[in-house]
Amino acid sequence: MNIYDQNRTPLFDALRRYVEDGTISFHVPGHKGGNGIPELRDYIGERVLSIDVNGMEDLDNICNPINVIKESQQLAARAFGADQAYYLVNGTTSGVQAMIMTVCGPGDKIIIPRNAHKSAIGGLILSGASPVYIQPEINYHSGMAMGITPERVKKAFNEHPDAKGILVLNPTYYGVFSDLKQIVEIAHSLGKPVLVDEAHGAPLGFHPELPLSAMEAGADMSAVSTHKLLGSMTQSSLLLVKQGLIDPKKVKGVLNLTQTTSASYVLMVSIELARKQMALKGKELLDKVLELSRWAREELNQVDGLYVFGDDIKGQPGCYDIDPTKIAINVRNLGISGYEAERLLRKKYRIQTELSDLFNTLALITIGDTRERVERLVYSMKEIADECRIKNVLKYSMNLPAPPEMLVSPREAFYSEKKSVLLEEAEGEISAEMIMAYPPGIPLICPGERITREVIDYVKILKKEPCQLQGTEDPEINYIKVLSRHLVLVRSDSDTGDWEGIRTARPAAPSF
């Protein structure tokens, strides 16, 4: 038997045997195959609840897989071009945090793009590491943060030679790629590992027309959201590892700190079946996705007032390549915001896009789409454009807030004494919380950063839109937690930015 035969589904086979054997359960979960919650069973079906079981000898255990889960993960590693693969049932968030915790300990530095997902900030707090932020390039026509350049990566490592590694997005949530292969070469020349948040890059590696995946580019670890684009169930993801600079034993130890001991077999088997499908039919399925995406982009770009970026932005600062399956519809020339476009699509046409910002709404074309579904999106956007009488009028300024200054490490800020203040009166204070629009979950302010008037005003603009802001204890984002005593890390060397100790600091005077 070829253990790497991608037709194999060892976990799914074991679950089916368990059900077909008619095993009588005296173990958790307490619903006992759905008998304990008939209303749910009647709606979602008996079969899915019959495989909602817990770890046992025949079904293996995610914390120390030695049987069918181990075999299933080996098949995933082979399919995705990795040496090791680990199933995740707490989403890619847990994978991003595990990557940071594998590489960094308290006080260590790691290079991170400033448009990283909130999960990366959580990883900094959990590990005690301190970020060296790289500012992504900004495309001011779209208002989007793009990728990071190899030049900025090289500069960051030169200025912080003690950084333990770098985290890269591949791609950004809008489908923009940095030159990951060159970034890997820079980092590896210094013996530094490259960690990749590949939440929106799961199909990479399964079609020759798509950009390189993290594993193809030579990265050391990547966290991949199989649930976002490959068909597995929400919350299911993969953590992929290339051996060399990363010790798989360390990875397993980190995962066992945060991974549940009651991993959902429904989620895990959905990863297995999604892997099988992509390994055997990935190119065929993605051929259709690419065809639909090309058609949608061409049609939308013919509509007055709409713009969807494509190959035209390749080569611009921060954009080495693009993911053509992501349709970022820019509505700035309609005189409406991306949030308003999303709301119109949802309320009038029963279409829900992935995320929106002040100028764009993002639609994802995946293996689950049909021509009919994509046509409905395109024709709905044409109607919205026709009905918008205001053309070529910007509703908002294109100026994004300047990146805030970090004065305290995220972990220090998280555990410091805090007080709650009105956001409107928080200028100059050091934030103890994040504020972000979700999705995509990229923080406008992170714990340990000085709150600026620009950030406050930008949040006020977002609050006027039908956008979901989160991160603070106050659900209305009227108040924000800040440090009571402004403990900041003293920099002993202004060139390297090394931290020597802490002192008490006053908020900076407001600038006008």
Q: For residue 391, what are the contacts with CB-CB under 8 A and spacing of at least 6?
A: 304, 305, 333, 334, 335
Tokens of 34: 């759905």
CA torsion through residues 86, 90, 92, 98, sign: negative
Tens digit of pLDDT for each residue in 39-89? 999 999 999 999 999 888 899 999 999 999 999 999 999 999 999 999 999
Run of H or E residues at 319: none
By residue count, the chain amounts to 512
- State the pLDDT confidence band at 401, using cuts at 50, 70 and 90: confident
12 to 8, 28, 83: CA distances (angstroms) = 9, 19, 22
pTM assigned to the model: 0.91
Amino acid letter at 89? V
Does residue 349 sit in helix, strand or coil? helix
- Spatial distance between the Cα atoms of 104 and 4, rounded to a whole number of angstroms: 33
Residue 356 has which token pair?
Answer: 């929106």
DSSP codes of every residue in 244-298: SSS-HHHHHHHHHHHS-SS--HHHHHHHHHHHHHHHHHHHHHHHHHHHHHHHHHH
pLDDT in tens, 121-155: 999 999 999 999 998 988 877 888 899 999 999 99
* pLDDT above 50: residue 500: no
Non-local CB neighbours of 416 within 8 Å, separated by 6+ positions: 408, 432, 483, 484, 485, 487
Q: At what angle do helices 338-349 and 371-387 cross, to 10 degrees?
A: 120
Over residues 341-396, the pLDDT tens digits come to 999 999 999 999 999 998 999 999 999 999 999 999 999 999 999 998 766 666 66
What's residue 2's pLDDT? 85
Q: Any idea of the CA torsion for 477, 483, 489, 495, to the nearest 10 degrees?
A: 30
Q: Give the whole-angstrom CA distance, residue 156 versus residue 159.
A: 5
**Beta strands 109-113 and 130-134, pairing class:** parallel
333-352 pLDDT, tens digit each = 999 999 999 999 999 999 99
Question: What end-to-end distance do the CA atoms of the chain give, in Å?
Answer: 72
List of domains in the chain: 283-387 (3.90.1150.150), 410-504 (3.90.100.10)
